[in-house]
Structure 1
Amino acid sequence: MPLTRIALRAGKPADYRQALTQGIQRALTDVFNVPEDDIFMVITEHDASNFVYGRNYLDIERSDDLVLIQIAANNTRTVDQKKALYKRIADNLAESPGVRREDVFVNLVEVLKENWSFGNGIAQYAI
């Protein structure tokens, strides 16, 4: 059910990018109870001129290793679940591939269940 977009500076190896997707998916599975095979992620890489961010916004010192993560998911989670997800993603990515917690930016976009079609032109979650 989640659709995850990951943006980062160009140049990281494939195993680094794979570790990002695996760490995010583990967090979604553990905290949001997303099934393991419910994985839809897109990674985009950007050169320096197309990757713009506040290096010190909210007194958080970010580096060029910043990873921007946007997750679209159903609007069914509590604030505590969301906080736990953010922490788990940061912890997982710190462990592998070694992203500093300060460089993990997560944005959750909540949508209604009827706003999904997983194929065949059908709104599978619409009641």
Structure 2
Amino acid sequence: MPFTRIAVRAGKLATYRKALMQGVHLALMEVFKAPEDDQFMIVTEHDADNFVFGRHYLDIERSDDIVMIQIAVSNTRGQDQKKALFAQIAENLARDPGVRREDVFINLVDVARENWSFGNGAAQYAT
């Protein structure tokens, strides 16, 4: 169900990128009860000219190590569950690979269930 895009500055090690994906997926499993094998993620790296962000927006001091995460999920969760997911992702990424909480930017995109196709040209969640 979740489709996750993670964007970072170019030059991060493969182990770092893998830890980002693992930390996000663990949070999705814990908070949103996503199945273990329901993992669809993309990590992209960008040079400085193609990676722009507000360093001080909302009085949060961000560094070049900002991690931008966008997660598309079915629109079945409430505000409290979303807040819990944000907190759990920040906690997981702070622990491993050591991302500052200020550098964890998350955007959750709610998608109607009928807007997913997981293969075979079928709308598996459509009723």
TM-score > 0.5 by shorter chain = yes
Q: Residues 25-59 of structure 1: CA distance to partner in whole angstroms, max 9, x if unpaired?
A: 00000000000100000011000000000000000
User: Which residue identity does 2:86 align to in structure 1?
Assistant: Y
Q: Which stretches of structure 1, 4 residues or longer, exceed 4 Å deviation after superposition?
A: none
Q: Percent identity?
A: 71
CA distance in 1, matches of 2:101, 2:28: 17
Equivalent in the alignment of 2:77: 77
Opposite residue 81 of structure 2, the aligned amino acid is: Q
Q: Which residue of 2 aligns with 1:60?
A: 60
- TM-score (normalizing by structure 2): 1.00
Measured against aligned partners, the alpha-carbon deviations of 1:53-110 in whole angstroms (never above 9, x if no partner) come to: 0000000000000000000000000100000000000000000000000000000000
Q: Tell me how far apart the structure 1 counterparts of residues 51 and 119 of structure 2 sit (CA, whole Å).
A: 32
Q: What is aligned with 1:116?
A: 116
* 1:50 counterpart residue number: 50
**1:29 equivalent in structure 2:** 29
Amino acid at match of 1:118: F
Using the TM superposition, give the Cα deviation of residue 23 of structure 1 relative to its aligned residue in structure 2, in angstroms: 0.2
Unaligned runs of 5+ in 2: none
Gap runs ≥5 in structure 1: none
Q: CA deviation at 1:14?
A: 0.3
